[in-house]
């Protein structure tokens, strides 16, 4: 499909983030505009973020003191399952896709996604998938066997309530949405960028989205196949994972993690992209080593499919298999490390502006590196045997998912909020949010490293009063409530920012990429004309000419 079609664009004013349009709410619900869909993705992520956060806080209350009976074991199991599933599929994915569909077309000078109606379909099917998953609470019990849903625990004879059926159907639906969005993004980036922009000159955020979309379409099918098999097992008594009748529990683990490990890179790559933009703008310097940042994402994407079994070292696959996946997992540390050094070098010698966005980006470097180091530790098989299924794992995954993905998303939120609404988030209360969140986050999860090492297993609803268990868990709970308070502050800031934030022009950060070329918020038709430039930093060239530092740096590469 290569012929270009003129997309009819309404000339009415883009409603920003309010519902005060001539059609009210209907304009939002029926919208096929990529910016409105992007915002709705972010709203969906926020809604489920609150739900998942409340589940987390309830769990932390239960764990605050030894031998607590605030939640029963059944409820606790449902909460940790729903917390994990929600945060990965209904918060992480829509947040990542929301930024992707909002900003990818803008950054490549396109007026719309390639398939606007499919874009809308993807959003709504993901949303209803999430609703279906949450409906399980009303339908006799939420899924309760963990977010990775290991067979045969998830089989009918061990999990009688219909929670797992809702899990399978909900994730199938939202998975279809993610795959179709990924296809949409790839076609958009290939066919709809301005004619003069070469693929190897894409802004880095778009590069990451591009690579990420390929990861999505390659990884999700294996989850969908596994979910289909599980549904066949549960509804029609097939034998895939039914170990008593010749089925295999390991098959589920393989299929799930062939999806599941790329999935964590799917969640982190767009954050890498956001950070690559943020570091440049607030250091007032072009990225150090554009080609390395871009190519290392491709390396991550390829290696992502060679590491899944490191989640399964404890199941006894034999030394050869373990050694292979151990080496693969260590290898993937290299391209990730390359990126960290690129960002450090971007900051080096730059005129750094410590905005909230930049603070989150810098904090990311610390937190994500801690998460990365514990990840490398886990790739060493004996360490994994010792620590698997302890709180050390919980600490590790939260350091990479919060300290990685969410810090990147927060950096993106502060950076792009003026573009999305025309107003700034309050920097001063933003400081409060930043420090509360970072301190709360470290208090919650750093102590869990220690808890894991002294042997506290994960996914157990209560624990006896062993030395240190009580005090460390109490610290963790206190930290969690600090994070909870800071998130409330964030939502208050966003509401206030949308209504009464300081109005800023189209380009408050003096940024480098095309989305800042149009007004804020962009009109429904993004651009009337776009300068014909071939550069990852087109606005930089436009504003400062081509004799700037940009050229020196490119020679340096």
Partner 1 sequence: MMKLVVGTEAMFFISLIMAFVYMAYNSGFEPYQVKALDIKTTGIFTLFLFASSFTFWRAEKNYRKGKINNLKTWLIATIILGSIFLFGQGKEYWRLVQDNITLNGSVFGTSFYTLTGFHGFHVFVGLIILLIILIMSFLGDFDKENSTVVSTVGIYWHFVDVVWVFVFTVVYVLPKFTNT
CB 137 within 8 A of CB 213: no
Q: Is the dihedral of CA 212, 216, 217, 219 positive or negative?
A: positive
Of 57 and 231, nearer to partner 1 (C-beta) is: 231
Closest distance between partner 1 and the C-beta of residue 114, in Å?
7
Which of 86, 122, 174, 222 lies at the binding interface for partner 1 (CB under 8 A)? 222
- Draw the binding track, 234-273, toward partner 1 (x: CB under 8 A; -: no contact): --xxxxx----xxxx-xx--xx--x---------------
CB 166 within 8 A of CB 230: no
- What is d(CA 139, CA 86) in angstroms, rounded to the nearest whole number? 18
Binding flag, residue 221, partner 1 (CB under 8 A): yes
- Draw the binding track, 102-141, toward partner 1 (x: CB under 8 A; -: no contact): ------------xx--------------------------
Of 190 and 291, nearer to partner 1 (C-beta) is: 190
Residues 3-42 within binding reach of partner 1 (CB under 8 A):
3
Which of 14, 79, 220, 416 lies at the binding interface for partner 1 (CB under 8 A)? 220
CB 295 within 8 A of CB 337: no
Binding flag, residue 226, partner 1 (CB under 8 A): yes
- Draw the binding track, 162-191, toward partner 1 (x: CB under 8 A; -: no contact): -----------------x--xx--xx----
CB 184 within 8 A of CB 212: no
Closest distance between partner 1 and the C-beta of residue 160, in Å?
18
Closest distance between partner 1 and the C-beta of residue 191, in Å?
9
Q: Is the dihedral of CA 281, 287, 290, 292 positive or negative?
A: negative
Q: How far is CA 316 from each of CA 69, 311, 457, rounded to the nearest angstrom?
A: 36, 12, 20
**Which residue stretch of 99-107, 163-171, 212-220, 445-453 sits at the interface with partner 1 (rule: CB under 8 A)?**
212-220
Of 8 and 246, nearer to partner 1 (C-beta) is: 246
Closest distance between partner 1 and the C-beta of residue 326, in Å?
22
Using CB under 8 A as the binding criterion, the count of chain residues that bind partner 1 stands at 36
How many residues does the structure list for the chain? 557
* Helical axes 93-107 vs 407-421, angle rounded to 10°: 50
- What is d(CA 171, CA 173) in angstroms, rounded to the nearest whole number? 5
Of 236 and 529, nearer to partner 1 (C-beta) is: 236
Of 110 and 420, nearer to partner 1 (C-beta) is: 110
Backbone angles phi, psi at 380, to 5 degrees: -85, 115
**DSSP assigned state of 455:** T
Find the helix or strand (DSSP H, E) in which 499 lies.
helix 469-500
Of 221 and 337, nearer to partner 1 (C-beta) is: 221
Residues 486-505 within binding reach of partner 1 (CB under 8 A):
none
CB 44 within 8 A of CB 127: yes
């Amino acid at each position: 499909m290569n012929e270009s079609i003129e997309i009819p664009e309404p000339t009415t004013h883009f409603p920003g983030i309010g519902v005060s349009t001539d059609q009210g709410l209907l304009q939002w619900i029926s919208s096929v505009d990529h910016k409105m869909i992007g915002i709705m993705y972010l709203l969906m992520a926020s809604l489920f973020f609150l739900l998942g956060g409340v589940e987390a806080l309830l769990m932390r209350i239960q764990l605050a003191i030894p031998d607590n009976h605030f939640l029963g074991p059944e409820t606790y199991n449902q909460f940790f399952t729903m917390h994990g599933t929600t945060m990965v599929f209904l918060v992480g994915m829509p947040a990542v896709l929301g930024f992707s569909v909002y900003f990818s077309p803008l950054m490549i000078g396109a007026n719309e996604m390639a398939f606007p109606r499919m874009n809308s379909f993807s959003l709504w099917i993901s949303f209803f998938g999430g609703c279906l998953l949450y409906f399980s609470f009303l339908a006799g019990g939420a899924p309760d066997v963990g977010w990775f849903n290991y067979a045969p625990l998830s089989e009918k004879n061990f999990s009688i309530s219909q929670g797992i059926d809702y899990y399978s159907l909900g994730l199938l639906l939202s998975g279809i949405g993610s795959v179709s969005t990924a296809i949409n993004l790839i076609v958009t980036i290939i066919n709809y960028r301005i004619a003069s922009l070469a693929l190897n000159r894409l802004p880095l955020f778009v590069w990451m989205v591009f690579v990420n979309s390929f990861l999505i379409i390659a990884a999700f099918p294996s989850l969908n196949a596994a979910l289909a098999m599980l549904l066949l097992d549960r509804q029609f008594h097939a034998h895939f994972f039914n170990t008593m009748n010749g089925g295999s529990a390991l098959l589920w683990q393989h299929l799930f993690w062939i999806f599941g490990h790329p999935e964590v890179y799917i969640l982190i790559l767009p954050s890498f992209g956001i950070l690559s933009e943020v570091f440049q703008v607030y250091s007032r310097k072009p990225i150090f080593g554009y080609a390395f940042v871009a190519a290392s994402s491709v390396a991550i994407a390829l290696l992502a499919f060679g590491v899944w079994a490191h989640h399964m070292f404890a199941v006894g696959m034999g030394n050869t298999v373990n050694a292979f996946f151990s080496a693969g997992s260590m290898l993937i540390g290299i391209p990730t490390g390359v990126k960290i050094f690129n960002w450090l070098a971007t900051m080096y010698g730059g005129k750094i502006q410590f905005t909230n966005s930049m603070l989150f980006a810098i904090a990311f470097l610390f937190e994500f590196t801690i998460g990365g180091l514990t990840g490398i530790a886990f790739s060493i098989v004996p360490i994994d045997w010792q620590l698997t299924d302890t709180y050390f794992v919980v600490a590790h995954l939260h350091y990479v998912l919060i300290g990685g993905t969410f810090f990147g998303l927060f950096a993106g939120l502060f950076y792009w909020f003026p573009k999305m609404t025309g107003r700034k988030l309050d920097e001063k209360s933003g400081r409060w949010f930043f420090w509360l969140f970072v301190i709360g986050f470290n208090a919650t999860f750093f102590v869990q490293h220690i808890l894991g090492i002294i042997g506290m297993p994960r996914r157990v609803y209560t624990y006896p009063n062993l030395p240190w268990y009580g005090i460390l868990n109490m610290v963790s709970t206190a930290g969690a409530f600090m994070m909870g308070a800071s998130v409330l502050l964030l939502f208050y800031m966003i509401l206030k920012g949308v209504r009464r934030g300081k109005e800023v022009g189209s380009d408050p950060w003096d940024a480098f990429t095309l989305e800042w070329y149009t007004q804020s918020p962009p009109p429904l038709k993004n651009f009337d004309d776009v300068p014909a430039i071939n550069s990852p930093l087109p606005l930089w060239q436009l504003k400062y000419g081509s004799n700037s530092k940009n050229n020196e740096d490119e020679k340096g590469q």
